[in-house]
Structure 1
Amino acid sequence: MSQLYIGLMSGTSMDGVDVALVDFSGLHPHLLDCQSFPYPTALLEELHTLCAPSINEIVLMGRADRAVAEVFAQATLSVLKNNYIRPEQVCAIGSHGQTIRHVPFGEHSFSLQIGDPNTLAVATGIDVIADFRRKDIALGGQGAPLVPAFHQAVFGHPKQSRIVVNIGGIANLTYLPKAGLGKVLGYDTGPGNTLMDMWCQKHTGQSFDFKGEWAAQSSPSSTLLEELCRHSYFATRAPKSTGRELFNLTWLEQQLVTHAKSVSPAEVQATLAMFTSQTIADEILHFPDVEQVYICGGGAKNEFLMECLESRLHECELFTTDELGIAPDAVEAMAFAWLAYAHNNKLDGSLASVTGAKRDAILGMFCPGKIG
């Protein structure tokens, strides 16, 4: 009997929602389909506005909360229709929501995702598991990253220490030690695609640098790269997580005014690619037992970024998660299907060794969608 779950993920890049359809009836979760759906332009503009303080933001957030849920619902039903599956055949939807603020430090730290799970449940008729981060934060953790428990479940190997790197808007890594070598570790390494995407949008009108072709046309600025790497985040020890609150276009432009006024836009793009690759590689090299590194997320398609990363990892073999049987674009959405499965089966979805919480925990809030 099939055990079908849907995973919904929209990350820091805000390029839309990824929908993964996963069957958990076998020994290992089996990805049946994964599709991406963009946000409507007007809604995307509102979401970008919500990432920083603005006028009347509570009303804007409340309306966007439901609008995001409606996009998620339409995307979910589209995937089910394309796969000839009825909503009542799906056990649950695991919805990450759309992060608009992530403040994992200080008193009353918080992480805020919108995409009302009640609206999603009503619109699809499917039970929804959502709000995955706040239980971990209540336990003293950072609520991020959440994917390491899934990485351990599907990518761990008893005889090989591995690292899985997700390069989304923000990049994060998961260290998966071979049996007997220690605990799973994971944290955000810093910017992934977010700065490259914002810079590309501003100077070319394109939402991202296709295959890194624009960046590849120029050489990076060593002076600018050095200054970017001085950010205090990189000296902070794990557990740690970050987002647009620290790494955004305003911060980047301040660095340019102060340290690199004469650097061309193309040179900045090349520097940003090197910035992402260097900060990821520097963290990977802290784990000398690792021989295989697997990349997932949108950054896996950036050929220039991958070349920069490979050039810094002389002692490691670099692959995408295709090598392990899961397309790089599908990994995070599949992780939230797994988190919904874990919730329903009373399995821990967070790892205290990753987030810094007092203990591992079952994550998520249940919103019923099924009638009867």
Structure 2
Amino acid sequence: MTPCLRFVSAAILKVDGRGLNACFDVIHQLNVRTPADVRSMLEQGGAGLAGGTQLPGMVSRLVSELQVVNVERLLNSCGVSAEKVTAIGQRGPVCGREFWKQTGSATSIGDPAILAEATGLTVIDHFEQRDIAKGGNAHGLDVLPMWLLLTQAVDSISARPKVVVRLDHSIELFYLPARRKNRPIPAIAYHSLGPGFALLQALQSLCDNKPGTTSVRTADVDALLQRLEIEKVSADSPHQIKSLVEGIVEELPQLLASSVTLNQTMESYWADAIHQQVQQHFPSSPEFAEIIVLGRGARREKLVQQIAEKFPDVTVTTDVQRGWISGAVGASIAAIFATLHVDQVSGNLPDLTGSSAARVLGRITPGNPGNWRGVLAQMELAARQTVPLREAV
């Protein structure tokens, strides 16, 4: 499970097989809307945590209590007994990650002890910290669980790759090649386009909403954002976002004439930028089997249509069409990270994150004795199995 600023989301995954050959299916999902006071603390938590003015423990407790409610509701609504759940993958909101990268230590938003005590289930969290401890930056860390979630292990060599576009707080592109059984991890690729809705929301707060405004050329926006080096801006950094907004206000103030103009222009810019970056950074052969749009952008029909027009020969789908609720993919990724830890498979790709070695990611908080014994038994079984050198810890 994983909280964002708007929801605390959870999903139950059915796992068939182990390690890189496993098949993951989302069998149930649920989210709880974050109360206004908790959301306000999370939105302001970045500056507070950095300056020591916000108490991290209080925020963690509030988030964990929401997670406990979510787990209980999820299990009750789908009729799954807690005894059948191996572990919970817990992941904090993105507002804490900027400081992990700066200090090399993790400030967790969400207390695993509260979740383990209330549910009796073993909790695995702090997935980014192990990569950062080995010199990585945790960029693109989601690419391996994303690959496992959206591809199936097959024997055929004719399977084609997929591209995932995650349009959310930031805009991220994932190249997911076909997954073959009992083979090493192929060349998975990741590329960040910089802030997405984090930038849009900051700009919307400055809009004049004047009637009769004219449109802004997408090419002008593209040229300006390239000069401002948007790809180097972290969506988790309020200071970098503020600097980017100031540059836009100074050089292209007409973009803020109305929220309608702003939304239409940014959607066109995003569609163009995604097309350009996919062509530039991802292999063109074999042809893509599918482009999957995730996040808040998947709920904007016009934006999805513009992306589809840029790739006329490729099927474009969304998480909405797959029946996934908002946040379900993020919650599933946390669950897959937990599964990889139990199976003792490294969850980071050093070529992408910059770490000096591949590592099994996560920290364990044991649940009740019966659940904890079951987790230990599965980990012992995984330790006796031979793994490829690239996946060794």
Query: In the alignment, which of 274, 281, 291 is matched to residue 280 of structure 1?
Result: 274
Greater CA deviation, 104-113 or 183-192? 104-113
Shift in Å at residue 244 of structure 1? 2.7
In the alignment, is residue 340 of structure 1 matched against residue 338 of structure 2? yes
Q: Supply the distance in 2 between the matched residues of 1:199 and 1:261 (Cα, whole angstroms).
A: 10
Match of 1:125 among 95, 120, 130: 120
Checking the alignment, whether the CA contact within 8 Å between 1:228 and 1:275 is kept in structure 2 is: no
CA distance in 2, matches of 1:193, 1:259: 20
SS at match of 2:253: coil
Q: CA deviation at 1:48?
A: 0.6
Shift of 1:254: 1.0
- Contact 2:8/2:33 (<8 A) preserved: yes
Give the C-alpha shift of residue 29 in structure 1.
Answer: 1.7
Matched with 1:269 is 263
Question: Alpha-carbon deviation of 1:109?
Answer: 4.6
Does the C-alpha gap of structure 1 residues 171 and 253 become closer, same or farther in structure 2, counting only changes over 3 Å? Answer: closer
Show the 5 A alignment for 1:1-372.
Answer: 8-11=1-4, 14-25=5-16, 28-53=23-48, 57-103=52-98, 108-109=103-104, 112-156=107-151, 158=157, 159-178=159-178, 183-200=187-204, 219-222=215-218, 223-234=220-231, 242-245=234-237, 250-251=242-243, 253-263=245-255, 264-265=257-258, 266-286=260-280, 287=282, 288-289=284-285, 290-291=287-288, 292-314=290-312, 316-320=314-318, 327=324, 329=326, 330-372=328-370
Q: What amino acid sits opposite 1:9 in the alignment?
A: T
Counterpart AA for 1:260: L
Distance 1:233 1:55 in 2: 23
**1:224-270 deviation digits (Å, cap 9, x = unpaired):** 44312333253x6xxxx932316876345413430122331222222
SS at match of 1:340: helix
Quick one: structure 1 residues 104 and 319, their matched pair in 2 at CA, closer, same or farther if it must change by over 3 Å? farther
TM-score by length of 1: 0.81
Matched residues in 2 for 1:20 and 1:106: separation? 28
Larger helix fraction of residues = 2
Rate the CA distance shift 1:269–1:248 in 2: closer, same or farther, 3 A. farther
The percent of aligned pairs where both chains have the same amino acid is 22
Deviation at 1:47, TM superposition (A): 0.7
User: Matches of 2:367 and 2:206 in 1, distance apart?
Assistant: 41
Give 1:165's aligned amino acid: V
Q: Aligned partners of 1:23 and 1:56: how far apart in 2?
A: 42
Q: Quote the Cα distance in structure 1 between the aligned partners of 2:186 and 2:313.
A: 21
Unpaired segments ≥5 residues, structure 1: 1-7, 205-216
**What letter corresponds to residue 234 of structure 2 in structure 1?**
T
- Structure 2, unmatched stretches of 5+, are 371-393
What TM-score results when the alignment is normalised by the length of structure 2? Answer: 0.77
Structure 1 residues 296 and 75, CA, compared in 2 at 3 Å: closer, same or farther?
same
Measured in 1, the distance between the counterparts of 2:341 and 2:293 equals 26
**Matched position secondary structure for 1:35:** strand
Q: Any idea what SS the aligned residue of 2:79 has?
A: coil
Distance, in Å, in 2 between the alignment partners of 1:81 and 1:106 is 38
Q: Separation in 2 of the partners of 1:15 and 1:201? A: 18
Paired residues, number: 345
Please identify which structure carries the higher strand content.
Answer: 1
Distance in structure 1 (CA, Å) of the matches to 2:323 and 2:351: 25
Query: Is the contact between residue 15 and residue 25 of structure 2 (CA under 8 Å) also seen in structure 1?
Result: yes
- CA-atom RMSD in angstroms: 3.2
Q: Deviations over 1:5-60 (max 9, x none)?
A: xxx1224xx11121111111466222111112111100101111112357974543
Measure the CA separation in 1 of the matches of 2:89 and 2:216: 40
Q: Alpha-carbon deviation of 1:68?
A: 0.9
